Amino acid sequence: MAKFEKSEQENNLASLRGRIFNQLQNDIIDGKYQEGDSLIETKLSEEMGVSRTPIREAIRQLELEGLVESIPNKGAIVKGISIQDIEDIYTIRMMIEGLAARWAAEKITEEELAELKEVVDLEEFYTNKNDANHLHKFDSQFHDIIFRASKSKTLMHTLSTFHHYVQKARTASLASPGRAQKALEEHRAILQAIIERNAEKAEKLTTEHVKNASKNFISLVKNKGEYYERQD
């Protein structure tokens, strides 16, 4: 019984640490914490209403992610996400996701194709309803099906490295005026290329889709950065 209780406590602590890590990561990516800012354990502990232990562990994870740096006598200093970092991530995404679409067009099963068609139809439905939560869900599913259809474990593992940044980018990008409708049109074109088993076209359209999303997201990040600078 004691062993079970200990395991449950460990799971709760891990869940709490994960929530704190995600919150701090979001705040850094969103620009709330800028390069050079200090993450002070006592202050964060008070703000979040938790002990310093999960804060300390979350900061350690942020350091592994390259988002903060521990400096002697200064503590955890935010390194942040620069515009160059975002551009690099999107450039890599263009290449990897384009390749995923190419391979998906060549290897997708009929079951996966039917699933992809259904997701695009649901995307259109929720785009017309302006339902952001469902729209984000099916937007992510569209890409996930293509990744799975590529039949490449290595490619999917590589994409998982950028998972959180990609999810944040999609959420923010789809919320901007007009982007959801444009993304739907781009998804329909990619779907059609995959239906036609046109690997070259699927790759080209996906690369353009990611490129368009990158322009949109970088513009949002720059505007948000200016907002936070005005608040200082």
> Percent of the chain having pLDDT more than 70?
83
Paired strand residues for 75: 71
Give pLDDT, residue 147. 94
**159 in the same domain as 199:** yes
Residue 42 is part of a domain; what is its CATH number?
1.10.10.10
Give pLDDT, residue 65. 80
Q: What is the DSSP letter of 198?
A: -
Give pLDDT, residue 120. 97
pTM beyond cutoff 0.85: no
Residue with tokens 């551009």: 87
pLDDT band of residue 50 (cuts 50, 70, 90) is: very high
Domain boundary among 78, 102, 133: 78
On the 0-12 / 13-18 / 19+ scale of CB atoms within 10 A, 127 is: buried
Domain boundary among 46, 78, 110: 78
Give pLDDT, residue 229. 42
pLDDT band of residue 87 (cuts 50, 70, 90) is: confident
Q: Mean pLDDT, to the nearest integer, of 44-52?
A: 91
Residue 231 has pLDDT above 50, yes or no: no
Residue 54 forms part of a structural domain: yes
pLDDT band of residue 227 (cuts 50, 70, 90) is: very low
Residue 131 forms part of a structural domain: yes
Phi then psi for 39, rounded to 5 degrees? Answer: -100, 100
Residue 1 forms part of a structural domain: no
Give pLDDT, residue 167. 66
**129 in the same domain as 51:** no
* Nearest CA among 54, 34, 35, 36 for reference residue 44: 54
Paired strand residues for 71: 75
79 with 36: CB under 8 angstroms?
no
Residue 99 is part of a domain; what is its CATH number?
1.20.120.530
Q: Mean pLDDT, to the nearest integer, of 8-15?
A: 62
Give pLDDT, residue 133. 82
Residue 4 has pLDDT above 60, yes or no: no
**91 in the same domain as 169:** yes
Domain boundary among 78, 95, 127: 78
Name the packing angle between helices 153-160 and 83-107 (round to 10°). 160
**74 in the same domain as 188:** no
Q: Which residue has the higher pLDDT, 87 or 7?
A: 87
Q: Could you give the CA distance from residue 130 to residue 148 in angstroms, rounded to a whole number?
A: 28
Paired strand residues for 76: 39, 70
**118 in the same domain as 23:** no
Residue 2 forms part of a structural domain: no
State the residue range of the domain holding 68: 8-78
**202 in the same domain as 88:** yes
pLDDT tens, position by position, 153-191: 999 888 876 766 676 666 666 767 788 899 999 999 999
